[in-house]
Amino acid sequence: MWKDIIDILINVYKSYSGKKKENSEKLSKIFDQISEIIDSCIEHLRRDEYPHNHCQIMAALSKDLVNELSHMMDMNKLKELESLLISASNLEIEYANRKKLETRNVLESASARFKSLSILYS
């Protein structure tokens, strides 16, 4: 799921590469905030703590991201991205899988990729 989200976002960037992106600073900030909330979730999981409010924050950031991308993507792809982001927003469910190394690895990879997108769009 995270890989699919990142792939869509990279394709959006490629399609707008070389063009002035008037909202690129805002997108960069959202990507950075998503990376931070995923990192925070990872830290909670490492400490065997429940990541309270992470779903709400991620859902709000996802909504902001979809709004910012609405004029850059066709409606079908935007709906696909929105659906993936809604699923990914459920970070608190990862608490059940907190002992699995794969869970943290996937989240760490997603966080790093969002951080990279933040730099790419800045």
In one letter, which amino acid is 98?
R
Per-residue pLDDT for 20 more than 60?
no
Residue 72 lies in a domain: yes
Residue 103 lies in a domain: yes
Predicted confidence (pLDDT) per residue in 41-60, tens digit: 989 888 888 888 888 899 99
Residue 43 lies in a domain: yes
Residue 106 lies in a domain: yes
Residue 93 lies in a domain: yes
Residue 46 lies in a domain: yes
Q: Domain limits at 102?
A: 2-9+23-121
Q: What is the pTM of this model?
A: 0.85
Write the secondary structure of the chain as one string of H (helix), E (strand) and C (coil): CHHHHHHHHHHHHHHCCCCCCCCHHHHHHHHHHHHHHHHHHHHHHHCCCCCCCHHHHHHHHHHHHHHHHCCCCCHHHHHHHHHHHHHHCCHHHHHHHCCCHHHHHHHHHHHHHHHHHHHHHC
Predicted confidence (pLDDT) per residue in 22-40, tens digit: 678 889 999 999 999 999 9
**How many domains does the structure of the chain reveal?**
1
Residue 14 lies in a domain: no
Residue 96 lies in a domain: yes
Per-residue pLDDT at 22: 66
Q: Over the chain, what is the mean pLDDT?
A: 86
Q: Which of 121, 7, 16, 113 is nearest to 72 (CA)?
A: 16
Tokens 């990879």, located at residue: 109
